[in-house]
A = this chain, B = another copy of it.
Amino acid sequence: MSASFFVPVRFVGVVGGDCPFDLVKVFAGRDVDLTGLEIRKESKTFRWAGTYHENMDDRTTDLTELNVLAEAPPSVPKEFKDSKYVFLANTTPALQLQLLEQIDEPEFVAVDTMNLWIEGHLDDLKTLLKKIHCLIINEDEARMLATESNLIKAGEIILDMGPSVVILKKGESGSIMCSSDGDKFILPAYPATEVKDPTGAGDSFAGGFMGYLAQSGKVDFETLKTAIAYGTVVASFTIADFSLSGLTSIDRADIDERLEILRKLTTF
Protein backbone atom coordinates (compact mmCIF):
# COMPACT_ATOMS: atom_id res chain seq x y z
CA MET A 1 0.00 0.00 0.00
CA SER A 2 2.76 2.37 1.03
CA ALA A 3 4.96 1.71 -2.04
CA SER A 4 1.99 2.01 -4.40
CA PHE A 5 1.97 5.80 -3.97
CA PHE A 6 5.21 5.80 -5.97
CA VAL A 7 5.25 2.89 -8.45
CA PRO A 8 3.29 -0.16 -9.58
CA VAL A 9 3.84 -2.86 -6.95
CA ARG A 10 4.10 -6.61 -7.25
CA PHE A 11 2.82 -8.31 -4.14
CA VAL A 12 3.99 -11.74 -2.97
CA GLY A 13 2.55 -13.11 0.24
CA VAL A 14 0.43 -15.72 1.87
CA VAL A 15 -2.53 -15.60 4.26
CA GLY A 16 -4.73 -18.28 5.76
CA GLY A 17 -8.39 -19.02 5.23
CA ASP A 18 -9.11 -17.01 8.36
CA CYS A 19 -7.89 -13.70 6.87
CA PRO A 20 -10.63 -11.22 7.80
CA PHE A 21 -10.00 -8.99 4.78
CA ASP A 22 -10.63 -9.51 1.09
CA LEU A 23 -7.23 -8.29 -0.07
CA VAL A 24 -8.38 -7.87 -3.66
CA LYS A 25 -10.94 -5.36 -2.46
CA VAL A 26 -8.45 -3.68 -0.11
CA PHE A 27 -6.11 -2.93 -3.03
CA ALA A 28 -8.82 -2.20 -5.61
CA GLY A 29 -8.06 0.92 -7.66
CA ARG A 30 -4.36 0.82 -6.76
CA ASP A 31 -1.58 -0.34 -9.03
CA VAL A 32 -0.81 -3.44 -6.97
CA ASP A 33 -0.48 -6.75 -8.80
CA LEU A 34 -1.78 -9.49 -6.49
CA THR A 35 -0.79 -12.43 -8.72
CA GLY A 36 1.63 -13.40 -5.96
CA LEU A 37 -1.04 -13.54 -3.25
CA GLU A 38 -1.70 -17.05 -2.04
CA ILE A 39 -4.68 -17.87 0.19
CA ARG A 40 -4.20 -21.20 2.01
CA LYS A 41 -7.68 -22.22 3.08
CA GLU A 42 -6.39 -24.81 5.55
CA SER A 43 -3.84 -22.56 7.22
CA LYS A 44 -4.07 -19.63 9.62
CA THR A 45 -2.79 -16.11 8.94
CA PHE A 46 0.23 -14.78 10.83
CA ARG A 47 -0.89 -12.94 13.98
CA TRP A 48 0.87 -10.51 16.25
CA ALA A 49 -0.53 -8.76 19.29
CA GLY A 50 1.18 -6.30 21.55
CA THR A 51 0.67 -3.56 24.08
CA TYR A 52 2.05 -0.09 23.43
CA HIS A 53 3.43 1.78 26.40
CA GLU A 54 2.28 5.29 27.18
CA ASN A 55 4.93 6.92 24.97
CA MET A 56 3.49 4.90 22.03
CA ASP A 57 7.04 3.89 21.10
CA ASP A 58 8.05 1.04 23.39
CA ARG A 59 5.84 -2.00 23.16
CA THR A 60 5.48 -5.44 24.71
CA THR A 61 4.71 -8.40 22.47
CA ASP A 62 1.78 -10.31 23.92
CA LEU A 63 1.45 -12.94 21.21
CA THR A 64 3.21 -14.08 18.03
CA GLU A 65 1.61 -16.88 16.01
CA LEU A 66 3.72 -17.62 12.94
CA ASN A 67 1.03 -19.85 11.36
CA VAL A 68 1.50 -19.67 7.52
CA LEU A 69 4.91 -18.07 8.03
CA ALA A 70 6.13 -21.37 9.49
CA GLU A 71 5.13 -23.16 6.27
CA ALA A 72 6.72 -23.12 2.81
CA PRO A 73 6.99 -19.61 1.35
CA PRO A 74 4.67 -18.53 -1.45
CA SER A 75 6.23 -18.90 -4.86
CA VAL A 76 7.20 -15.84 -6.87
CA PRO A 77 5.08 -15.69 -10.07
CA LYS A 78 7.06 -16.13 -13.29
CA GLU A 79 6.13 -12.62 -14.44
CA PHE A 80 7.63 -11.14 -11.23
CA LYS A 81 11.06 -12.74 -11.63
CA ASP A 82 12.51 -9.73 -13.47
CA SER A 83 11.78 -7.40 -10.50
CA LYS A 84 14.64 -5.00 -9.78
CA TYR A 85 13.68 -3.44 -6.43
CA VAL A 86 12.85 -6.10 -3.88
CA PHE A 87 11.75 -5.74 -0.27
CA LEU A 88 11.79 -8.89 1.85
CA ALA A 89 9.37 -8.18 4.68
CA ASN A 90 9.90 -9.65 8.11
CA THR A 91 9.81 -13.45 8.19
CA THR A 92 12.36 -16.19 8.90
CA PRO A 93 15.69 -15.54 7.13
CA ALA A 94 15.45 -19.01 5.52
CA LEU A 95 12.15 -18.05 3.85
CA GLN A 96 13.59 -14.67 2.84
CA LEU A 97 16.51 -16.51 1.19
CA GLN A 98 14.14 -18.86 -0.66
CA LEU A 99 12.09 -15.90 -1.91
CA LEU A 100 15.18 -13.99 -3.00
CA GLU A 101 16.51 -16.96 -4.96
CA GLN A 102 13.40 -16.77 -7.15
CA ILE A 103 14.26 -13.28 -8.43
CA ASP A 104 16.55 -13.27 -11.48
CA GLU A 105 18.73 -10.18 -11.13
CA PRO A 106 17.52 -7.79 -8.44
CA GLU A 107 19.30 -4.42 -8.37
CA PHE A 108 18.46 -3.44 -4.80
CA VAL A 109 17.25 -5.81 -2.11
CA ALA A 110 16.18 -4.49 1.29
CA VAL A 111 15.37 -6.74 4.22
CA ASP A 112 13.50 -6.35 7.48
CA THR A 113 14.23 -8.67 10.39
CA MET A 114 13.49 -8.96 14.11
CA ASN A 115 14.78 -10.15 17.49
CA LEU A 116 13.29 -13.67 17.05
CA TRP A 117 15.53 -14.38 14.05
CA ILE A 118 18.61 -12.74 15.55
CA GLU A 119 18.24 -14.98 18.60
CA GLY A 120 17.20 -18.20 16.93
CA HIS A 121 18.20 -18.10 13.25
CA LEU A 122 21.45 -16.16 13.27
CA ASP A 123 23.31 -18.36 10.77
CA ASP A 124 20.55 -18.03 8.16
CA LEU A 125 20.39 -14.30 8.81
CA LYS A 126 24.13 -13.95 8.30
CA THR A 127 23.92 -15.90 5.04
CA LEU A 128 21.10 -13.59 3.91
CA LEU A 129 23.02 -10.43 4.86
CA LYS A 130 25.77 -11.38 2.40
CA LYS A 131 23.27 -11.43 -0.49
CA ILE A 132 21.38 -8.18 0.04
CA HIS A 133 22.01 -4.46 -0.26
CA CYS A 134 20.13 -2.94 2.64
CA LEU A 135 19.09 -4.03 6.12
CA ILE A 136 16.27 -2.07 7.80
CA ILE A 137 16.32 -2.79 11.52
CA ASN A 138 15.12 -1.39 14.87
CA GLU A 139 17.78 0.15 17.08
CA ASP A 140 17.47 -2.48 19.82
CA GLU A 141 17.68 -5.28 17.30
CA ALA A 142 20.74 -3.64 15.72
CA ARG A 143 22.45 -3.56 19.12
CA MET A 144 21.55 -7.22 19.60
CA LEU A 145 22.78 -8.28 16.15
CA ALA A 146 26.04 -6.34 16.49
CA THR A 147 26.48 -7.06 20.23
CA GLU A 148 27.41 -3.38 20.60
CA SER A 149 25.49 -0.82 22.62
CA ASN A 150 26.64 2.29 20.71
CA LEU A 151 24.20 2.54 17.82
CA ILE A 152 26.59 4.12 15.31
CA LYS A 153 29.22 1.47 16.02
CA ALA A 154 26.51 -1.20 15.77
CA GLY A 155 25.60 0.09 12.30
CA GLU A 156 29.23 -0.19 11.20
CA ILE A 157 29.53 -3.72 12.55
CA ILE A 158 26.40 -4.75 10.61
CA LEU A 159 27.82 -3.21 7.41
CA ASP A 160 30.77 -5.57 7.84
CA MET A 161 28.29 -8.47 7.74
CA GLY A 162 27.43 -7.75 4.11
CA PRO A 163 24.87 -5.06 3.27
CA SER A 164 26.13 -1.80 1.78
CA VAL A 165 23.40 0.19 3.57
CA VAL A 166 21.99 -0.20 7.08
CA ILE A 167 18.96 1.77 8.23
CA LEU A 168 18.57 1.95 12.00
CA LYS A 169 15.00 2.77 13.02
CA LYS A 170 14.49 4.67 16.25
CA GLY A 171 10.67 4.92 16.30
CA GLU A 172 9.56 8.35 17.49
CA SER A 173 13.19 9.50 17.22
CA GLY A 174 13.58 8.85 13.49
CA SER A 175 16.27 6.87 11.76
CA ILE A 176 19.96 6.71 10.93
CA MET A 177 21.38 5.39 7.67
CA CYS A 178 24.98 4.19 7.41
CA SER A 179 26.61 3.16 4.14
CA SER A 180 29.70 1.09 3.54
CA ASP A 181 31.22 4.15 1.78
CA GLY A 182 31.25 5.85 5.19
CA ASP A 183 28.31 8.15 4.39
CA LYS A 184 25.72 8.73 7.08
CA PHE A 185 22.30 10.36 7.21
CA ILE A 186 20.18 11.09 10.26
CA LEU A 187 16.54 12.08 10.04
CA PRO A 188 14.08 12.71 12.88
CA ALA A 189 10.58 11.28 12.66
CA TYR A 190 7.81 13.59 11.54
CA PRO A 191 6.51 15.25 14.74
CA ALA A 192 3.16 13.50 14.90
CA THR A 193 0.61 14.68 17.42
CA GLU A 194 -1.97 12.15 16.25
CA VAL A 195 -0.78 8.65 17.13
CA LYS A 196 -3.51 6.04 17.30
CA ASP A 197 -1.60 2.87 16.41
CA PRO A 198 2.11 2.58 15.54
CA THR A 199 1.62 -1.00 14.27
CA GLY A 200 2.87 -1.19 10.69
CA ALA A 201 4.93 2.01 10.92
CA GLY A 202 8.10 0.07 10.09
CA ASP A 203 6.55 -1.64 7.07
CA SER A 204 5.09 1.65 5.85
CA PHE A 205 8.54 3.20 6.19
CA ALA A 206 10.06 0.39 4.15
CA GLY A 207 7.32 0.66 1.53
CA GLY A 208 7.73 4.40 1.06
CA PHE A 209 11.51 4.01 1.00
CA MET A 210 11.46 1.24 -1.62
CA GLY A 211 8.69 2.88 -3.64
CA TYR A 212 10.65 6.10 -4.00
CA LEU A 213 13.85 4.24 -4.92
CA ALA A 214 12.03 2.21 -7.58
CA GLN A 215 10.42 5.36 -8.95
CA SER A 216 13.82 7.10 -9.09
CA GLY A 217 15.51 4.08 -10.66
CA LYS A 218 18.75 4.71 -8.78
CA VAL A 219 20.23 4.12 -5.34
CA ASP A 220 23.00 6.72 -4.95
CA PHE A 221 23.29 8.18 -1.45
CA GLU A 222 21.34 11.38 -2.22
CA THR A 223 18.44 9.30 -3.56
CA LEU A 224 18.61 6.99 -0.53
CA LYS A 225 18.36 10.06 1.75
CA THR A 226 15.23 11.33 0.02
CA ALA A 227 13.82 7.79 0.08
CA ILE A 228 14.25 7.70 3.86
CA ALA A 229 12.42 11.00 4.12
CA TYR A 230 9.55 9.58 2.05
CA GLY A 231 9.45 6.43 4.19
CA THR A 232 9.34 8.60 7.31
CA VAL A 233 6.44 10.64 5.97
CA VAL A 234 4.38 7.66 4.84
CA ALA A 235 4.83 6.06 8.28
CA SER A 236 3.62 9.28 9.91
CA PHE A 237 0.29 8.86 8.10
CA THR A 238 0.04 5.17 9.01
CA ILE A 239 0.27 5.72 12.77
CA ALA A 240 -2.49 8.33 12.77
CA ASP A 241 -5.13 5.61 12.47
CA PHE A 242 -5.72 1.88 12.86
CA SER A 243 -5.11 -0.70 10.13
CA LEU A 244 -4.57 0.88 6.69
CA SER A 245 -6.98 3.77 7.29
CA GLY A 246 -4.15 6.29 7.66
CA LEU A 247 -2.99 5.45 4.13
CA THR A 248 -6.29 4.88 2.31
CA SER A 249 -7.38 8.44 3.14
CA ILE A 250 -4.38 10.22 1.55
CA ASP A 251 -2.80 10.67 -1.88
CA ARG A 252 0.67 11.38 -3.22
CA ALA A 253 0.16 15.15 -2.94
CA ASP A 254 -0.40 14.80 0.83
CA ILE A 255 2.86 12.86 1.07
CA ASP A 256 4.81 15.43 -0.96
CA GLU A 257 3.40 18.27 1.10
CA ARG A 258 4.44 16.64 4.35
CA LEU A 259 7.88 15.87 2.91
CA GLU A 260 8.44 19.59 2.38
CA ILE A 261 7.28 20.31 5.93
CA LEU A 262 9.76 17.71 7.22
CA ARG A 263 12.53 19.31 5.16
CA LYS A 264 11.75 22.73 6.63
CA LEU A 265 11.55 21.29 10.16
CA THR A 266 15.04 19.82 9.93
CA THR A 267 17.00 22.43 7.97
CA PHE A 268 19.23 24.98 9.70
Task: Write the residues of chain A forming the contact surface with B, with a CB cutoff of 8 angstroms.
Answer: 54-56, 143, 149-153, 170, 172-174, 176, 184-188, 191-193, 195, 222, 225-226, 228-229, 263, 265-268
Docked Cα-Cα span, A174 to B184, in Å, equals: 16
A188 close to B191 (CB less than 8 A):
no
Identify the closest chain B residue to A184 (Cβ).
Answer: B265
B residues within 8 A CB of A195? 150
Identify the closest chain B residue to A229 (Cβ).
Answer: B268
Identify the closest chain B residue to A227 (Cβ).
Answer: B268
A151 close to B172 (CB less than 8 A):
yes
B266 close to A186 (CB less than 8 A):
yes
**Smallest CB–CB gap between A42 and chain B, Å?**
43
B residues within 8 A CB of A263? 268
Docked Cα-Cα span, A8 to B140, in Å, equals: 43
B residues within 8 A CB of A191? 151-152, 176, 184, 186
Docked Cα-Cα span, A172 to B143, in Å, equals: 14
Q: How many copies does the complex hold?
A: 2
Task: Tell me if A's interface is mostly helix, strand, loop or mixed.
Answer: mixed
A192 close to B225 (CB less than 8 A):
no
B150 close to A185 (CB less than 8 A):
no
B56 close to A185 (CB less than 8 A):
no
B residues within 8 A CB of A174? 173, 188
Q: State whether A185 and B149 are in contact (beta carbons under 8 Å apart), knowing that A173-B170, A176-B191, A191-B176 are contacts in the complex.
A: no
B residues within 8 A CB of A187? 188, 266, 268
B residues within 8 A CB of A225? 267-268
Centre residue among A153, A192, A263, A265 by max chain B CB count within 10 A: A265
B residues within 8 A CB of A54? 149
B residues within 8 A CB of A266? 185-187, 266-267
**Smallest CB–CB gap between A212 and chain B, Å?**
11
**Smallest CB–CB gap between A129 and chain B, Å?**
22
Docked Cα-Cα span, A222 to B264, in Å, equals: 11
Identify the closest chain B residue to A186 (Cβ).
Answer: B188
Given A185-B268, A186-B266; 16 other pairs, CB 8 A cutoff:
A55-B149, A56-B149, A151-B172, A152-B191, A152-B193, A153-B193, A170-B173, A176-B188, A184-B191, A184-B265, A186-B188, A186-B191, A187-B266, A187-B268, A225-B267, A266-B266
